Structure 1
């Protein structure tokens, strides 16, 4: 067989393997951890590949949100279950209103 064809075959197979190894490293090193972090309702920092836990400002400052519904919404926004003492833990977040039908003149 022609040695040029053999050489090109090895080069293309080598390039193919390098690309596949790069994609596997990207998938298992960046994409899968990011997806797992976002499924857990946490914050993914792509630059440092760190999964951070969001916290409420009221947890840091010690100030309590007075409105029970607003406090429950804040808990849901950071992926935490509102405490049962709020009385709104079972309530689902409000749905967005349906867009009004366009009137034809």
Structure 2
């Protein structure tokens, strides 16, 4: 009976050690780098463990940014009136 208790004790200590190492490895490799990346304003991809810099869509396409509807911007205000009669904007 004493051998069984000692063996069971070693099994549980081994499982505990493996679980502890797995948790520390997970945090060291994925959680903490992701938190550092997001704290600096980056995008964290946990599949490839890559910290990417967000790029505005206007930089990729070369299009101007969104225009606000103001009295100084009449072409933006007239856009809904170009719809056919009876057609609703989407």
Please give the TM-score of this superposition, normalised by the length of structure 2: 0.66
Q: Secondary structure at the match of 2:44?
A: strand
Instruction: Work out the number of aligned pairs and report it.
Output: 68
Separation in structure 2 between the aligned mates of residue 19 and residue 49 of structure 1, nearest angstrom? 22
Q: Partner of 1:7 in structure 2?
A: 7
1:26 aligns with 2:26: yes
User: Could you tell which deviates more after superposition, 41-50 or 56-65?
Assistant: 56-65
Give the superposed CA RMSD: 1.9
Give the deviation of 1:45 after TM superposition.
1.0
Structure 1 segments unaligned to the other structure (5+ residues): 69-105
Structure 2 segments unaligned to the other structure (5+ residues): 69-90
User: Could you tell which deviates more after superposition, 49-58 or 18-27?
Assistant: 49-58
- Relative to total residues, which structure has the larger helix share, 1 or 2? 2
Q: Find the structure with the greater CA-based Rg.
A: 2
Q: Partner of 1:50 in structure 2?
A: 50
Q: Partner of 1:65 in structure 2?
A: 65
Question: Which is bigger in relative contact order (C-alpha 8 A, separation at least 6)?
Answer: 1
Q: Partner of 1:78 in structure 2?
A: none
Separation in structure 2 between the aligned mates of residue 61 and residue 47 of structure 1, nearest angstrom? 27
Separation in structure 2 between the aligned mates of residue 61 and residue 2 of structure 1, nearest angstrom? 73
